[in-house]
A and B are shown apart, each in its own frame.
Chain A
Amino acid sequence: MQAELGRQVNGHAVPAHYAYVARYEYSEIVVQNDNFLRLSAFSDGQQTAGACDISTNPAGRKIAYPDRLGNQVHRVRITTPHRELVIAAVGAVHLMGETPRVGDLPLASLSYDFEADEFLTPTPLVNPDSVKAAARTAAGSADTLLGTVQGIVDWVQTQVRYVRGTTSVNTTAADVLYAMSGVCQDKTHLALGMMRGLGIPARYVSGLLTRQAGETHAWVEFLHPNAGWLAADPTRGVVINTGADYMKFAVGRDYAEVPPVTGSFVSTGNGYLDFATAAVFFDRDSLSVDDALLMLPGAG
């Protein structure tokens, strides 16, 4: 059986530039702020990362390294006292824009290397057993890999309402199933938990929607035994056919491994994210962190 999903897009890699800026406010002086940024484009068969530049205000010492899953991490440690922190990132990326032709496989025949185990097992935010029954309902009569993934994606897209402000970074897949509402991050946790529950290795992707940026997006990648990792977006109902519409920052077992910005600070007060936005440009030859800073409210 050969099911073909998505349209074949003619053409070559699409060059793009992205910009991200975030501002954090603190109620008291912060004397040390140690942040891990996953704001560099991921490199794989679907996209190739170009140069990336990161800047913070106040400035700190920076170091870059690849993590265990191949995500490029920038660590910035700031020891200048501050009450406000601005993080800006810009980068170049080539998006393949081409939809791979992928053969379908019977679900019962799937077999994976033990390296894939960590994308089948529970994580702190995703316990596959807790959403397995719902996964069977969502998959319906589908008995193939692509059919099952499509069933889960469609079910989560249509059944789980998109509602802001009711969930947090600690919301689990089981919580989402109970509330039947959430944002892209929550839909992603639920869908990848459902896939894992049915024996399909799945991981969390953090990135941007290139045609409607503004904020970071999240979706799923599932493992095809022959074709590798393929995209599935339970917020927008898109499977495999992501074209040049998606730009990937990082992948992980769940959100906790891939937030765009995570870290810790030393202060007697509290901190909160005051503002964050992102944009993708197809018509620019270059982009600097100053361009990213112009996206702050009141700038320019």
Chain B
Amino acid sequence: MLNRSIAVKDRLNEFLNPDGSAKPTYRGLLDSMDDLGPAEMQRRWQRANDRARRDAFSFLLDPREFRPVPADWVPRLIPAGDWDVIARGVGQRLRAINRFLMELYCGDQDIVPPDVMFSSQYYNPELQDFHPPQDVFVHIYGIDLVHMGNGRYVILEDNLRIPSGITYQMKSTEIGLSVMPEFAQGYDIIPYDIKAAYQEMFVSLCETDSPNCVLLTDSKFGAAFFEHRYLSELFGITLVEGSDLYIGANGRVWARAMGGDFEVDLIYRRVEDLELFVPGLTDAYLERKVVLVNAMGTGAADDKLVFLWVPEMIEKYLGETPVLEQAVSYDLRSASNRQYVLQNLESLVLKTRQGYGGLGVFIMPDLGMMYRNRLAQQLIEQPQVFIAQETLDFSQHVVFDDASGELEGRYVDLRVFAIQNGYGDVTVFPGGLTRVSHADGRVTNNSSGGSCKPSWVVR
């Protein structure tokens, strides 16, 4: 039997009860783990980690150093009933944000104050009145949730620029299942097909049935290059850098290739500053010579301040009540909010509006006095740079420490990916990516050095 005493403590744990027994959903899994025992688990962990290294399953924080994504192979199990609510909530939010972007660029949105939208570096004035193909801005959406227990999930933020991580969702599940097939015994895992859904989405946006698609990467030294290479191979599309693309004499986008340059119908772009990577791309896009996924201008809704108005978008544009709650957040443009936040700073989370990947997220209760004082000073000097959020005491899960052979507790969040195609269909991929914090904190992002674990939706 595995030692689980240090995993329990006084925290809400999705897997274990305070007495060390498993929660109902996890009974079968804990039995499988106990049957394997610490020594065999250590051997399996070694095999799974070797496999991850061989597959170059990586997220590079430092391009000079290869480091596989640290993974914990104990899966997270999400009951199908809980997942139904998550999937409905994510789909609803995606539709509302897409509609908001349509109103922002082609209509007359009056939900978010104009100075917030128009001062955003990701708002493109040249896109005014331009309808993206099939009126879809948000093709690929990543949303971060935390579990408060009893199936209650709360949204922390939306990722609309170039959300990354779906590969880690697929890869961690694939490696985990192949090295530890025992873990799946007795569970009916809901399957999904990311490849088919993406390919259908690409075709739905183009005028031809067999479009030439490319994946535009920032560089092969970028943090998410493993994902860029993996996805381009999975979807059967060409992986290109900015210098591989140019605007041809016919105004279309061309890709350089050994066997002869070819015209590009669709760019699955994993860079934000498109014009910087491919001069002239804005004009080609506005002349409808090429499709961009996500659409140009989508990043305007990624501002963490815009998050505050999404429930209003759902109510106004869809006429629905939000399915999922979101973390209580404060707009620091308001003097009364500034006053409240300064008075309660030690219990709040500060986030920079343009931050991503856990960078610029400050969980005040977890920080030292010096650091807190410095942030308070910055907040007074430049309140507009931040939003504040209530700190949530969300769930923990277990990780297997392969050095000690024991189970430990760690905070986990859930990044869920969804896509929207040109036929108006929204697909939310079951399970998502569970990200695991360091031993001593609550920040879970890969950019911040967190690890990941497989997540299954089980019936």
Contacts and interface: CB of A to CB of B under 8 A. Distances in A.
Interface in B103-146: 114-115, 118-119, 121, 124-126, 128
Interface in B379-419: 380-384
Interface string A235-258: 000000000000000000000000
B31 interface: no
Contact of B380 (A66, A115, A121): A121
A73 B335 CA distance: 22
Interface residues of B, number: 26
A124 interface: yes
Nearest to A78: B126
A118 B382 CA distance: 10
A121 B336 CA distance: 15
A144 B172 CA distance: 70
A73 B113 CA distance: 14
Interface string A36-56: 100000000000000000000
B219 interface: no
Given A79-B282, A266-B273, A118 B335 contact: yes
Nearest to B126: A61
B118 A75 contact: yes
A63 interface: yes
Contact of B283 (A79, A122, A264, A266): A79
Interface in A14-71: 31-32, 34, 36, 60-63, 65-68
Interface of B: 114-115, 118-119, 121, 124-126, 128, 273, 275-276, 279, 282-283, 333, 335-336, 338-339, 377, 380-384
B125 A32 contact: no
Contact of A62 (B125, B333, B381): B125
A123 interface: yes
Nearest to A81: B279
15 contacts: A31-B275, A61-B124, A63-B125, A66-B114, A67-B115, A73-B118, A75-B118, A75-B125, A79-B126, A79-B283, A114-B335, A117-B335, A118-B338, A122-B377, A122-B381
A77 interface: yes
Contacts of B126: 60-61, 77, 79
Interface of A: 31-32, 34, 36, 60-63, 65-68, 73, 75-77, 79, 81, 114-115, 117-118, 121-124, 264, 266
A242 to B, nearest CB: 27
Nearest to B281: A79
A81 B381 CA distance: 36
Contacts of B121: 34, 264
